[in-house]
């Protein structure tokens, strides 16, 4: 890197827009969406999709709800041409879906593209040429007038060669992109868009699409919004125009730039699922659409099975959705932090079905996009007591008393710290069983029964302590009290019961009782125990045995 002061780079100039309106607006509706996965996204793949993979992907885009899908660059290669023809000839395009193709401003490419579109019911012809000063200087060695002439002539050719298609029944719409719009002088971008519009002569019923791409992202999102609002304010036929966005992500702010530009007046958004595209990618439509959804605006796209969409995407593109990608990443709804886990558990338990979603750290209900609750809290050495309790309850049905959370949390964290890895739910259950349910030294319960007379309970128990059998008898106001008194005659440490909780585990004939008991020894130490049995009385006795075995362990 160059040391300060930096002379190699310069800040992007601001837009003179003193009365900008977009900062005070809020989103109220979804834009028109156009997927460019099969063209812009596909050209960015190290191994482009096969025709069969593109067909599968196209069908997925239709199921999601896209009404405009850019399917390729048919004049660029035979594969692209054949794919377009196959969609049309095999009648794979629903009547309410328009396919879009891309083309440069050359007559032979335009006529070839028209051949590819024959028989299509709805089509968008996307014409483009580069307009930025750098492109004019280094690539075309052309003046502004030369560049305008290219765009206008290309538009006239499209209009001319589209006539037979339109006469045959195709509804054809026209889209023009001044490529590198965001690095083109605004006055010139306006000039060339106006000239193209003059040549096309759009109407309110058949509007021209002016796509204003951030082909390379150079500026901050607020400047991009200013550029879009400036254009929207200065177009003379705004009522006959759809302003379209096509943001790239070179600065990592493609989503923000799109959202602000929508506030600035954009009507339409082009992008790809999960942001696949050249360099750092295109706009991620999934993120923008679900951002709208979390603000109560339906995006008119269906992402209720995001896992299936991700599976098709990863298989056909050979790319992976990053683990922390918004909404779709494997770890998007996962918390390892103890404080986060505790907040999630508490707010989730108080969430009412008929109230607005308000679960801490989780801005969308995972169920709305087909995600499972099971992976929301995962355990490593950074996790807390609430996370462990959440796993045991939501995965396995153990609803631990709140006072027990700290104890089990410490035990699990010690294991995770020693292993240095994440613990899976099965690992946590195994540790819980080993620590509380399966511990059988030094005390083993062999037999237990009670009798009740005049509100007094007498217990008879047979236990083994360090291999020695003891026959015990005790009385009290209940089974727990009676067993506690009976154990006083053994060499086990003296204790008192501090708390007791129980609940059912499972349902119907398979249901069992789970008891949790906290004891305090004469040395002032407290320990929890847990017991399971089909008999609630016996489950509580097992919980006392569990607690005592844990107490004598230390």
161-218 residue pLDDT tens = 999 999 999 999 999 999 999 999 999 999 999 999 999 999 999 999 999 999 999 9
* Cis status, amide bond into 49, omega within 30 of 0: no
- Average confidence (pLDDT) over 140-161: 97
Residues 548, 523: contact at Cβ < 8 Å? no
DSSP category for residue 272: B
CA distances from 314 to 120, 240, 250, 254, 465 (A): 29, 39, 22, 21, 59
Query: Minimal CA–CA distance to 202: which of 300, 125, 302?
Result: 125
Among candidate residues 72, 75, 69, the one with its CA nearest the CA of residue 48: 72
Length of the chain: 554
Order of strands, sheet of 443-453, starting from the edge strand that comes earlier in the sequence:
443-453, 456-465, 468-476
According to DSSP, residue 373 is labeled S
pLDDT of res. 425: 87
End-to-end CA distance of the chain: 58
* CA 241/CA 258 separation, integer angstroms: 18
Calpha distance 412→433 (Å, rounded):
12
Q: In whole angstroms, what separates CA 473 from the centre of its chain?
A: 60
CA-wise closest residue to 41 among 66, 63, 10? 66
Chain-centroid distance of CA 50 in Å reads: 27
**Are 167 and 203 in contact, with CB atoms under 8 Å apart?**
no
pLDDT of residue 554: 58
343-382 pLDDT tens trace: 888 898 899 989 999 999 899 999 999 987 666 666 665 6
Whole-angstrom Cα distance, residue 387 to residue 395? 12
Q: Check: CB of residue 432 under 8 Å from CB of residue 389.
A: no
DSSP letter at 283 equals -
Q: Provide the residue ranges of all domains of the chain, joining segments of one domain with +.
A: 33-317, 338-437, 443-553
Exposure b/e, 232-260, CB count within 10 A at least 16 = b = beebebeebbbbbbbbbbbbebbbbbbbb
Q: Which fold has domain 33-317?
A: TIM Barrel (3.20.20)
pLDDT for residue 343: 85
pLDDT reported for residue 374? 61
Question: What does pLDDT average to over the chain?
Answer: 94
Confidence of residue 331 (pLDDT cuts 50, 70, 90): confident
129: Cβ contacts below 8 Å, ≥ 6 apart? 104, 105, 147, 150, 151, 154, 178, 179
Residue 18: burial class (beta carbons within 10 Å; 0-12, 13-18, 19+)? exposed
Angle between helices 78-89 and 51-64 (to 10 degrees): 50
What are 479-530's pLDDT values in tens digits? 999 999 999 999 999 999 999 999 999 888 788 999 999 999 999 999 999 9
pLDDT tens digits, one per residue of 6-65? 999 999 999 999 999 999 999 999 999 999 999 999 999 999 999 999 999 999 999 999
Among residues 418, 419, 420, 472, the alpha carbon closest in space to that of 450 is found at 472
Tell me how far apart the alpha carbons of residues 418 and 420 are, in angstroms, rounded to a whole number.
6
**Contact of 172 with 165, CB cutoff 8 Å:** yes
pLDDT band of 413, cuts 50, 70, 90:
confident
Q: Report whether pLDDT(459) > 70.
A: yes
Using CA atoms, how far apart are residues 550 and 529, in angstroms rounded to an integer?
Answer: 8
The tens digit of pLDDT for each residue in 245-261 reads 999 999 999 999 999 99
Topology match between the domains 33-317 and 443-553: no
Measured between alpha carbons, how far is 197 from 484 in angstroms, rounded to an integer? Answer: 91
Is residue 530 within 8 Å of 439, Cβ to Cβ? no
> From its phi and psi, is residue 300 left (phi > 0), alpha (psi between -120 and 50) or beta?
left
Cα 127 from Cα 160, distance rounded (Å): 14
Helical residues (DSSP H) of 168-245, grouped into ranges: 186-200, 221-234
Average pLDDT of the residues in 115-134? 97
Q: How much is the average pLDDT of 459-477?
A: 95
Q: What angle do CA 23, 25, 30 make, to 5 degrees?
A: 125
So what CATH class is 443-553?
Answer: alpha beta
Distance CA 254, CA 214 (A): 9
Asked whether 463 and 475 are in contact (CB, 8 A), the reply is no
Measuring CA to CA, which residue among 518, 507, 512 is closest to residue 538?
Answer: 512
């Amino acid at each position: 890197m160059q040391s300060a002061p930096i002379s190699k780079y310069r800040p992007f100039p601001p837009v003179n827009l003193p009365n900008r309106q977009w900062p005070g607006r809020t989103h109220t509706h979804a834009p028109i969406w156009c997927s460019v996965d099969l063209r812009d996204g596909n050209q960015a793949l190290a191994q482009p999709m096969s025709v069969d993979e593109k067909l599968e992907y196209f069908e997925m885009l239709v199921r999601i709800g896209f009404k405009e899908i850019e399917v390729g660059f048919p004049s660029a290669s035979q594969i692209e041409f054949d794919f377009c023809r196959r969609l049309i000839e095999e009648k794979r395009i629903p009547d309410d879906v328009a396919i879009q193709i891309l083309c440069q401003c050359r007559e032979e490419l335009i006529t070839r593209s028209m051949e590819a579109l024959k028989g299509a019911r709805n089509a968008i012809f996307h014409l483009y040429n580069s307009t930025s000063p750098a492109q004019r200087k280094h690539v075309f060695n052309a003046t502004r007038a030369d560049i305008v002439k290219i765009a206008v002539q290309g538009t006239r050719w499209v209009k001319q060669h589209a006539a037979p298609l339109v006469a045959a029944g195709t509804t054809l719409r026209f889209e023009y992109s001044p490529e590198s719009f965001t690095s083109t002088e605004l006055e010139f971008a306006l000039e060339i868009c106006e000239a193209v519009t003059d040549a096309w002569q759009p109407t309110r019923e058949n509007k021209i699409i002016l796509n204003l791409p951030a082909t390379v992202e150079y500026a901050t999102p607020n400047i991009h919004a200013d550029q879009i609002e400036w254009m929207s304010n200065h177009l003379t036929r705004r009522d006959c125009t759809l302003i379209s966005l096509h943001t790239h992500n070179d600065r990592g702010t493609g989503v923000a730039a799109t959202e602000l530009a929508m506030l600035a007046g954009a009507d339409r958004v082009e992008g790809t699922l999960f942001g696949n595209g050249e360099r750092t990618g295109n706009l991620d439509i999934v993120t923008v659409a679900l951002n709208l959804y979390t603000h109560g605006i339906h995006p008119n796209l269906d992402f209720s099975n995001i896992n299936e969409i991700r599976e098709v995407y990863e298989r056909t593109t050979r790319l992976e959705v990053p683990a922390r990608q918004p909404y779709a990443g494997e770890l998007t709804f996962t918390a390892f932090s103890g404080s986060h886990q505790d907040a999630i558990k508490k707010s989730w338990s108080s969430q009412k079905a008929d109230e607005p979603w308000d679960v801490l750290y989780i801005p969308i209900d995972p169920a709305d996009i087909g995600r499972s609750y099971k992976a929301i809290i995962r355990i490593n050495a950074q996790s807390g007591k609430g996370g462990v309790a959440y796993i045991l309850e939501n995965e396995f049905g153990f609803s631990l008393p709140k006072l027990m959370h700290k104890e089990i949390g410490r035990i699990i964290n010690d294991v995770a710290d020693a292993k240095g890895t994440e613990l899976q739910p099965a690992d946590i259950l195994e540790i819980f069983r080993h620590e509380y349910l399966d511990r059988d030294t030094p005390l083993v319960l062999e037999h237990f029964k009670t009798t009740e007379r005049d509100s007094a309970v007498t217990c008879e128990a047979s236990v083994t302590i360090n291999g020695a059998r003891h026959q015990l008898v005790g009385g009290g106001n209940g089974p727990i009290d009676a067993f506690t008194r009976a154990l006083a005659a053994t060499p086990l440490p003296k204790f008192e019961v501090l708390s007791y909780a129980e609940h059912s585990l499972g349902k119907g004939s398979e249901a069992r009782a789970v008891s949790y008991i906290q004891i305090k020894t004469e040395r002032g130490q407290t320990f929890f125990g847990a017991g399971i049995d089909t008999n609630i009385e016996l489950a509580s006795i097992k919980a006392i045995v569990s607690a005592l075995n844990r107490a004598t362990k230390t």
